[in-house]
Each structure stands twice: as structure tokens, then as C-alpha cells.
Amino acid sequence: KLPRFGFLSQKDVDDATVGQGFQVFAVSPDNLLSTNETSDNLSSFSVPSNTWQFLITVKGKAVVLLTVDFLDNKWTPVSIGGSELAGQLSKLIETWPASSGYRYRLIRVYQAKSEFIELSTSEKIIGIVPLGSARIALGLMKKDFDPADIQDSADMARKVKAVVRKNLD
């Protein structure tokens, strides 16, 4: 049998635990495209959604994401998958542990097929880490995900805006 959803065996399924959760913040294309401000940061265009993605781990290793949404007044699992994204998010929280005061905001730009993590502390936003999908969509030089590759949020907003405009035209 081939692995299903990143699990190699029934034992993996039995040993699976729910890890770090990430609320999905979606970028509104209308808001993004309606401004000419060059100083706006990516998070200023994002709004919280009812969707959360949770790392599912086996023996401490992230294998997939469980997506949960608030539907009909209750939290409902809606999908499981995304093993590549799960691995990237796991690397990110290993590099920037919450126990050291780091906070994460998962920002998704559907019209650019891109995902980012806004990295911050309680005092300030450190920057934006483009995940693999964003690296590809934005044509960033280094295509491989690097959790230490922190980008300027306003610069990322400008790049995303160009991709969204092109994709909507």
C-alpha cells in the first residue's frame, strides 16, 4: 500500500497527535488592489478567517495539516493533507519557537496561490517568511523554502499585488 495522507502505517495514525494551530488570514484582492500606498504591509490587507490549520505529528515529526472550519455554529474538520506545507510550518516553528516569544500569522493570498508567515514578537513584526507556494508564485530567486529568509512586509505586498493584478486580468 502507498502512504495515505502522509501516514506510513496504521501505527502512525494511532500515534498521531495534534500540534501547533495556525489561523488562516486571507488577503482581500479588492483591498490589496484599491490602494496605491507603497508602505502598506502584507498583514494590513489580511483579515482573519474561520479556518484553522493544525499540524498533525507522529513521533514529533509533522506529517500533514488538518483543516478545521467553523460551519453551522460548530468546528468541523474539512480536509487533511498538505504534507509539504506541514513540513515547512514545522521547520519554521523549530527555527522560531513560540517558547522564545515568536508568534505566527498564516497569510493566504488565494488569487496569487501564495502563503506566507508573518513572524512577530509581542513588541513588533519581524517580517514575512514566504512559504514554498509564495516563492514559486512570486518568482523568488531561491525557490526552496528557508525559514530564516525573512522578507520586508511592504516589499512582499508590492510583489503580491502585481501577481494578483496579473492573475485577475
For residue 102, what pLDDT is reported? 97
For residue 65, what pLDDT is reported? 95
Give the chain as a DSSP string. ---BTTB-SHHHHHH-EEEEEEEEEEEPHHHHHT---SS--GGGGEEEEEEEEEEEEETTEEEEEEEEEEETTEEEEEEEE-HHHHHHHHHHHHHS-GGGT-EEEEEEEGGGTEEEEEEE-SS-EEEEEE-HHHHHHTT-S--S--TT--B-HHHHHHHHHHHHHHHH-
For residue 85, what pLDDT is reported? 94
For residue 89, what pLDDT is reported? 97
Task: Tell if the pTM clears 0.95, that is, is over it.
Answer: no
For residue 4, what pLDDT is reported? 66
Q: Is 3 helix (H, G, I), strand (E, B) or coil?
A: coil
For residue 30, what pLDDT is reported? 82
DSSP classification of residue 28? P
Residue range 43-87, pLDDT digits in tens: 888 999 999 999 999 988 999 999 999 999 999 999 998 989 999
Say if CB 150 and CB 131 are below 8 A apart: no
For residue 38, what pLDDT is reported? 59
Q: E strands, 28-73, where?
A: 46-58, 61-71
Q: What are the residue ranges in the chain where pLDDT is below 70?
A: 1-4, 36-39
For residue 11, what pLDDT is reported? 87
